[in-house]
Structure 1
């Protein structure tokens, strides 16, 4: 009897990006990664993820953390974080990225402060009940077109998450004048991400020394100015992609050297390529990028 020769299983990177229409549209990710390595980055929304298998290692809140199977990852909006495998076989997870204003719509239910935006102090949460609730929400969004059911599940899940794991954030007082100057720099990079500006020019804008600007900006935003600029460019790229721009035009208009430069930074931030992201929002994407 001949022995059957088997080939070793090839582990593949799989990432499916979608969005739910509820609450104005919430971005969703269903991914399995083996070699994916997210650089330090931030999102305008929160990251709420459930580890389905394996384990993820990531940076958040000034330290490194490991999220094993069945745990929940929580990253606050605009909070710098990273991500890579903490297990030999990689990790798979489901995640959603609600915006602060989407949480605000729910603030009356929990008597939250006026801004309604929660703060999640723990990067990794071991709460099997909440993890199963999130899984049920993802399953409903995957399988049901019933708007009442979908909205009810999303609303109740987000309220439950806030009530179990959030608190009001207490900001550490800092020098008001310096904070105002740093905010000017942050606002400029947010409003003009594609502009090729030097550190000297940013320092002059803020009325600070270049060295002081780098040090204090990283304390305030979690990233040095050049890395924050990349994040602002990725955010602008997302907007352009949603509007149906060709990827080559997106790269040029957002300040990237070329499309390859856009692809690299986009995937290291979003976990999917610009092309995968575009297909979810623009049914004419394929035709537009073939012309």
Structure 2
């Protein structure tokens, strides 16, 4: 009898390439880990190479089969889990707002899963380029084409400016702005309520209703998002704790592992080794 090959429950490698506009590259395979609701401060450009992912965005269930490109906007909470028993293998590019500005957040929320073979091929080509040292010009060129394609796909969905917002949603957005401004020191709910002239319970209900995540969960996921960037820059864990507002290293580790399914130490080690190990997984489309 041939022994069954054991598939690791999870594999994560991440790094920050020398390509302006790409703040992180993440390659991962998960069979059991489920991402809780969390946010990023960058655009998440996701392709799935094996299996499928299901996720919730703006209270709508979405999915990413292998022929789609998913574009998840910054500051909008989402989760993620395997949609197939064997799990999934994904490649992710995190793009800063210089590549796609805030006007396109609404259109991306309305339709994050893009079935576009040309875009899918270009994203694969960019992954191959960022995995090779010395090919930064190629990566920048491919990123420019991807940005142009994304804008072309999303531009028809842009809303007219000046659309009214309901009161609860407006309060939720104001609270999100406060949490973003006070990311490291944090903010007590009573202080936020005083500044926004709203009852604390109303703030929590409005925020959770608008974004599908509680204010404290939003704050912690933003801190984890910042922590992963600093770790990939080579900053020591003790320094990252201070720079992101966590109480101590166990506090950081607990929330980091809850969201990413791995510890800060393993994540940082993957960044140092990833650039020489991802070329085969990225493919060589031209």
Tell me, yes or no, whether TM beats 0.5.
yes
Deviations 1:185-244 (A, max 9, x none): 334322333446432332123221112111222344443221122123224434654665
Structure 1 equivalent of residue 276 of structure 2: none
Going from structure 1 to structure 2, the CA distance change for 1:239 and 1:11 (only over 3 Å counts) comes to closer
| Aligned residue runs from structure 1 range 224-239, under 5 A | 224-238=214-228
Structure 1 equivalent of residue 127 of structure 2: 138
Q: Secondary structure at the match of 1:103?
A: coil
Question: For 2:58 and 2:175, how far apart are their aligned partners in 1?
Answer: 22
Question: For 1:47 and 1:133, how far apart are their aligned partners in 2?
Answer: 15
Residue of structure 2 aligned with 1:21, choices 6, 18, 22: 18
Q: Is the 1:79–1:222 contact (alpha carbons within 8 Å) kept by the matching residues of 2?
A: no
Alignment size in residue pairs: 269
Q: Secondary structure at the match of 2:90?
A: strand
Segment drifting more, 273-282 vs 133-142 = 273-282
| Aligned residue runs from structure 1 range 1-80, under 5 A | 4=1, 6-7=3-4, 9-80=6-77
Q: Is the 1:185–1:205 contact (alpha carbons within 8 Å) kept by the matching residues of 2?
A: no
Residue of structure 1 aligned with 2:164, choices 173, 183, 187: 173
Structure 2 equivalent of residue 263 of structure 1: 253
Going from structure 1 to structure 2, the CA distance change for 1:159 and 1:145 (only over 3 Å counts) comes to same
Question: For 2:169 and 2:148, how far apart are their aligned partners in 1?
Answer: 36
Deviations 1:100-128 (A, max 9, x none): 22325xxxxxxxxxx66563231322223
Going from structure 1 to structure 2, the CA distance change for 1:130 and 1:272 (only over 3 Å counts) comes to farther
The answer to whether the aligner puts 1:278 opposite 2:268 as a matched pair is yes
The answer to whether the aligner puts 1:246 opposite 2:236 as a matched pair is yes
Going from structure 1 to structure 2, the CA distance change for 1:253 and 1:126 (only over 3 Å counts) comes to closer
Structure 2 equivalent of residue 193 of structure 1: 183
Q: State the TM-score, normalized to the length of structure 1.
A: 0.78
RMSD (Å) for aligned C-alpha atoms: 3.1
**CA apart distance, 1:173:** 1.4
Question: For 1:178 and 1:61, how far apart are their aligned partners in 2?
Answer: 13
The answer to whether the aligner puts 1:154 opposite 2:143 as a matched pair is yes
Residue of structure 1 aligned with 2:92, choices 95, 98, 104: 95
Q: State the TM-score, normalized to the length of structure 2.
A: 0.79
Residue of structure 2 aligned with 1:215, choices 190, 205, 213: 205
The answer to whether the aligner puts 1:203 opposite 2:193 as a matched pair is yes
Q: Is the 1:71–1:124 contact (alpha carbons within 8 Å) kept by the matching residues of 2?
A: yes
Q: Is the 1:16–1:272 contact (alpha carbons within 8 Å) kept by the matching residues of 2?
A: no
Q: Secondary structure at the match of 2:91?
A: strand
Question: For 2:174 and 2:72, how far apart are their aligned partners in 1?
Answer: 25
Structure 2 equivalent of residue 123 of structure 1: 112
Question: For 1:203 and 1:49, how far apart are their aligned partners in 2?
Answer: 36
Segment drifting more, 265-274 vs 152-161 = 265-274
The one of the two structures with greater contact order (alpha-carbon pairs below 8 A, sep at least 6) is: 2
Question: For 1:127 and 1:45, how far apart are their aligned partners in 2?
Answer: 22
Q: Secondary structure at the match of 1:59?
A: strand
Going from structure 1 to structure 2, the CA distance change for 1:176 and 1:7 (only over 3 Å counts) comes to closer
